[in-house]
Amino acid sequence: MNNRINVSDWIDQKKLSGFQVCTIVLCALVALLDGFDTIVISYVAPEIARIWEIDITTFGPVFATGLFGLMLGALIFGPLADKIGRKSVIVASTFIFGVCSLLTVLADNMSQLILFRLLTGLGLGGALPNIIALTAEYSPRRVRSTMVSLMFIGVPAGSLLGGIITARMIASMGWESVFYLGGTIPLMLAVLLIFALPESIRFYVATGKHAGKVGAILNKIDPAAAFDATVEFHLSEQKADGFTVKHLFAANRTRNTLLLWVVFFMNLLVMYFLLNWMPTVLKAAGFPIEKAIIASSMMQGGGILGGILASRIGDRGNLRKVLFGFYCLAAISVATIGFVSNLAGLMIVILIAGFSVIGAQFIINGLAASIYPTSIRSTGVGWALGIGRIGSIIGPIIGGMILSLKWSTSSIYLVGAFPAILAAIAVVLMSIRNQPDIPAGQKKDPLDINA
């Protein structure tokens, strides 16, 4: 037996095992509940506004604060996971957003609602970059983008489920019931994760922690391997010392890191511009709230279809070319929403918008996970999502401002198409070959995988 094993190469050469699939499924369950708890506030907002007798446009800060929590969670818990491990952060994040969702039912004014959505957002934001990183690290390279995309389908699936369930629950049990459900199930899942979710094997090797557990995990992936205590495990990547964020800008990663942030920013801006205000805009356009919620949930249905397509092409085609096509389709479909007046046509256009906007998010998640090495992967994905969350905060604020100005529905969605155009431009710039800027005689950054 070879007594020195490169873990990355070993995983890449193996078939996807049942152990790896179970790990990815657990991450998908976290994504499902993350998607549910993130979006339900937009579905219940019209009902809360009615009961509290307040103007629906005042919910802009509620939406924005929750998304601000998502941003902070991604920025804080991404780098933290690169230090202490993915599993601990995923379990803690799931517990946090479960508890805070339950606490939301105690809110009886806007200040309390804003506070609880901020705290819920912290947990939601901390979970996403780490389930993406963990899925990427347990997947062979040849199917990595596919596995990340399939796992991430849980997010729009949870949001779609939220739309279907919320429309019924609000009518029969009140808006509070939605948050009881959105809090109880994550707490149950957090307990399951403690016992069933493995830590990232690449994290163990990269940090040199718990070396004895590496062989045991590899034996679960391939029982025939039978590794013993004499085997030395290593990665071709070197450990990132110090403040891990600085390595996102080392050597020739700077340009692609910044452009990746622009794409995340614009994508999440248009996504949450649509998701948070669509039920309200459609209700104002004359649709009953139940139909407005169902029509809005078609965006998540389209996102699932987009995610499935992304999983098919993720490890086969040029991701940047595909992204450009997605954003062109996004700009056209979003702009068209405001010009469709019948429910059936509206649902089709919203489905296409979800397919392109949310589908693009799947692709850039896989792209972000693939361009950074293990030692800074959670940091890279977390900061991309965190910067993107700034866009998700600005989107609902812009929507609230536009609604307060009484703009027409067509004008609202024409504005919503603009970020998709800017994202397409950023993707084109990312496609231009990145030449490393390394002075003569200086070694290239050992963590740089793009040189």
Q: What span, in angstroms and rounded, lies between the C-alpha atoms of 340 and 424?
A: 25
Q: Averaged over 262-268, what is the pLDDT?
A: 92
Instruction: Concatenate the DSSP letters of all residues of 274-326 into one string.
Output: HHHHHHHHHHHTT--HHHHHHHHHHHHHHHHHHHHHHHHHTTTS-HHHHHHHH
Q: Residue 15: pLDDT above 80? A: yes
Q: Read off the DSSP letter of residue 343.
A: H
pLDDT at position 264 is 92
Domains of the chain, start order: 4-431 (1.20.1250.20)
Burial (CB count <10 Å: 0-12, 13-18, 19+), residue 208: exposed
Q: What span, in angstroms and rounded, lies between the C-alpha atoms of 109 and 131?
A: 34
Cβ-based neighbour number of residue 76 at 10 Å = 16
Give percent of the chain with pLDDT exceeding 70.
89
Residues 278-295: tens digit of each pLDDT: 777 777 777 777 777 777
Q: Averaged over 136-155, what is the pLDDT?
A: 85
Q: Residue 78: pLDDT above 70? A: yes
The segment with the largest mean pLDDT, out of 24-33, 267-276, 318-327, 338-347, is 24-33
Residues 340-377: tens digit of each pLDDT: 878 888 888 999 999 999 888 888 877 777 777 766 77
pLDDT at position 439 is 38
pTM: 0.75
